[in-house]
A and B are shown apart, each in its own frame.
Chain A
Amino acid sequence: MQVDDGLAMAPDFEVFHREHRDRLVASLALHLGDVHLASDAVDHAMAKAWTRWERLDDHDDAGAWVYGVARNWATSWLRRLRFRSNRAVPERASGDPLPSDLLDDDPALRRALASLTDGQRAVVVLRLLQEMSTREVALALDVEEGTVTSRLSRARRQLRDALTDTEAEQ
Chain B
Amino acid sequence: MTIDDPRNPHEREFDDHVAARLRRAVAGMDLPAASAARARSSGHQLQLRARLAASAGAVALVVAAITVATAIRPLGTGDVVQGPSTAPVPATTADPTPVVCPAVSPTVQQAEPRLPEARLEPAGIQGWALLFTEPPWPTGEQVKVVWRLDGTGDPDASAIGPSDTVVDSDDLTPHGGSNWDRPGDEWGTIWTFDEPGCWELRMARAEGSASLTVRVVDPDDPNEAGLTAAQFEARIDRARAALSDVDEDNVVHAAMADDVVTESELVTALERTRSCARDADPTAEVTTGHIGDVSSSAADGNAVERCIAEHYQPTIRAFVTLFAPSAGQQAAVPDCPQASTDCLDEAETVVDGIIRSNLRLVGELGHTPEPAAPSDAGQAAAQQLHAAARADDDRGLAQFAQTWLASDEVELWLGPTTLDHTATPADLVDPDGWVLSSDDYAGYTGPFSGLDALADVDDITVSTGPQPNCAAPARPAPAGLEGLERIAIEPAESDSCLDWFVVNLWVDDGHVRAVQLDLYEP
A-B interaction: yes
Give the interface of A toward B (CB within 8 A).
1, 3, 5, 7, 9, 13-14, 17-18, 21-23, 25-26, 29, 35-36, 39, 42-44, 46-51, 60, 72, 75-76, 79-80, 82-86, 102-106, 109-110, 124-125, 127-129, 131-136, 149, 152, 156, 159-160, 163
Interface pair A1/B110, CB less than 8 Å apart: yes
Nearest neighbor of B76 in chain A, beta-carbon distance = A1
Q: How far is the CA of A161 from the CA of B471 in the complex (A)?
A: 56
Contact among B26, B28, B36 for A23, CB-based, below 8 A? B26
9 chain-A/chain-B pairs, Cβ below 8 angstroms: A21-B36, A26-B26, A48-B43, A50-B36, A60-B1, A79-B452, A103-B26, A159-B14, A159-B18
A1 and B40 within 8 A (CB):
no
CB neighbours (8 Å) of A35 from chain B are 29-32
Q: Using an 8 Å CB-CB cutoff, how does the interface string of B429-454 with A read, 1 for contact, 0 for none?
A: 00000000000000011111100110
B435 to chain A, nearest CB (A): 11
Chain A residues with CB below 8 A from B1, complex form: 60, 131-133, 136
Binds A, one of B67-75, B133-141, B164-172, B175-183: B67-75
The 10 closest A-B pairs by CB, nearest first: A50-B43, A47-B42, A17-B36, A46-B39, A47-B43, A128-B19, A105-B28, A106-B25, A39-B32, A26-B26
Cα distance A26–B43 in the bound complex, in angstroms: 22
A133 x B452 contact (CB < 8 A): no
State the CA gap A153–B422 with chains docked (Å). Answer: 44
Q: Determine the chain B residues whose CB is within 8 A of the CB of A136 once the complex forms.
A: 1
User: Nearest residue in A to B1 (C-beta to C-beta)?
Assistant: A131
Give residues of chain B (151-189) contacting chain A, Cβ–Cβ below 8 Å: none
Could you tell me if A83 and B453 are in contact, using CB atoms closer than 8 angstroms? yes
Contacting pair B71 A1 (CB below 8 A): yes
B100 beta carbon closer than 8 Å to chain A: no
Report Cα–Cα, A18/B36, bound state, in Å.
7
Given A7-B41, A13-B36, A84-B444, verify A109-B2 contact (CB < 8 Å): no
- Please tell me which one of the listed residues B23, B25, B30, B39 contacts residue A43 in the complex, with CB atoms under 8 A apart: B39
Also in contact, A152 and B5, with CB within 8 A (given A84-B445, A86-B445, A160-B14) = yes
Most-contacted residue by chain A among B15, B41, B43, B453 (CB, 10 A): B43
Q: Which residues of B contact A3 (CB under 8 A)?
A: 71-72, 114
Task: Say yes or no: B23 contacts A9, CB within 8 Å.
Answer: no
Q: Which residue of A lies closest to B111 (CB)?
A: A1
Q: In which size bucket is the chain B interface?
A: 35 or more
CB distance from B217 to the nearest CB of A (A): 25
A29's contact among B29, B38, B453, by CB below 8 Å, is which? Answer: B29
Residue from A43, A102, A152 within 8 A of B42 (CB atoms): A43
B15 close to A49 (CB less than 8 A): no
Residues of B near A109 (CB, < 8 A) are 18, 21-22, 25
Task: Chain A residues near B479: list those with CB within 8 A.
Answer: none
Q: Give A109 to B20 CA distance when docked, in angstroms.
A: 11
Q: Specify which chain A residues have a CB less than 8 angstroms from the CB of B35 in the assembled complex.
A: 17
Q: How close is B271's CB to chain A, nearest CB, in angstroms?
A: 17
Residues of B within 8 A of A106 (CB): 21, 24-25
The answer to whether residues A1 and B75 also contact, given A79-B455, A84-B444 and a CB cut-off of 8 A, is: yes
Interface of A is mostly: helix
Q: Nearest-CB distance from B70 to chain A (Å)?
A: 10
Question: When A21-B34, A60-B1, A84-B445 are in contact, do A44 and B42 touch as well, CB less than 8 Å?
Answer: yes
> Apart from A13-B39, A46-B42, what 6 extra A-B contacts exist at CB < 8 Å?
A3-B71, A3-B72, A5-B72, A17-B36, A106-B21, A132-B1
> In the complex, are the beta carbons of A127 and B42 less than 8 A apart?
no
Given the complex, which residues of A lie within 8 Å of B72, measured CB to CB?
3, 5
Question: What residue of chain B has the Cβ atom nearest to residue A148's Cβ?
Answer: B5
A50 to B35 alpha-carbon distance, docked (Å): 12
Chain B residue with the shortest CB-CB distance to A143 = B392
Which A residues lie within 8 Å of B41 (CB)?
5, 7, 47
Chain B residues whose C-beta falls within 8 Å of the C-beta of A9 in the assembled complex: 36-37, 40
Contact assessment for A128 and B28 in the assembled complex, using a CB-CB cutoff below 8 Å:
no
A100 to chain B, nearest CB (A): 12
Contacts of A23 in B (CB 8 A): 26
A45 to chain B, nearest CB (A): 9
CA gap between A75 and B390 in the complex, in Å = 12
Cβ 8 A contact of B28, one of A17, A48, A104 = A104
Determine whether the beta carbon of B4 is less than 8 Å from that of A133: yes
| B259: Cβ under 8 A from any A Cβ | no
Nearest CB in chain A: distance from B246 CB, A: 19
Are the C-beta atoms of A156 and B25 separated by less than 8 Å?
no
A105, B25: Cβ atoms closer than 8 Å: yes
CA distance A152 to B30 in the complex (A): 27
CB contacts under 8 Å to A, within B482-506, are: 499
Q: Which residues of A contact B44 (CB under 8 A)?
A: 5, 7, 50-51
Instruction: Given A1-B75, A79-B452, A83-B453, answer yes or no on A47-B31 (Cβ-Cβ < 8 Å).
Output: no
Min C-beta distance of A19 to chain B, whole Å: 10
Min distance, Cβ A94 to any Cβ of chain B, angstroms: 18
- The answer for the CA separation of A104 and B24 in the assembled complex, in Å, is 11
- Given A103-B26, A131-B2, answer yes or no on A48-B31 (Cβ-Cβ < 8 Å): no
With A79-B456, A83-B449, A128-B19 as given contacts, are A105 and B24 in contact (CB-CB < 8 Å)? yes
Which of A22, A80, A125, A131 is close to B3, meaning CB atoms less than 8 Å apart?
A131
Known A-B contacts A46-B39, A105-B24; A83 and B458 likewise in contact (beta carbons under 8 Å): no
Query: How far, in whole Å, are A84 and B472 apart by their CA atoms in the complex?
Result: 21
Name the contact of A129 in the complex, choosing from B23, B40, B47, B455 (C-beta under 8 A). Answer: B23
B123 on the A face (CB < 8 A): no
User: With A and B bound together, what is the CA distance between A82 and B43 in angstroms?
Assistant: 27
A105→B449 CA distance, assembly (Å):
41
A36 touches B32 (CB 8 A): yes
Cα distance A136–B43 in the bound complex, in angstroms: 24
Residues 38-86 of B at the A interface (beta carbon under 8 Å): 38-47, 68, 71-72, 74-75
Which residues does chain A contribute within 8 Å of B455, judged by CB atoms?
A: 79
Chain B residue numbers with a CB within 8 Å of A48 are 43, 46
Residue of B nearest to A112 (CB): B18
Max chain A CB contacts within 10 Å: which of B40, B45, B114, B444?
B40
Contact, CB under 8 Å: B448 / A83: yes
Q: Closest residue of chain A to B447, judged by CB?
A: A86
B509 is an interface residue with CB less than 8 A from chain A: no
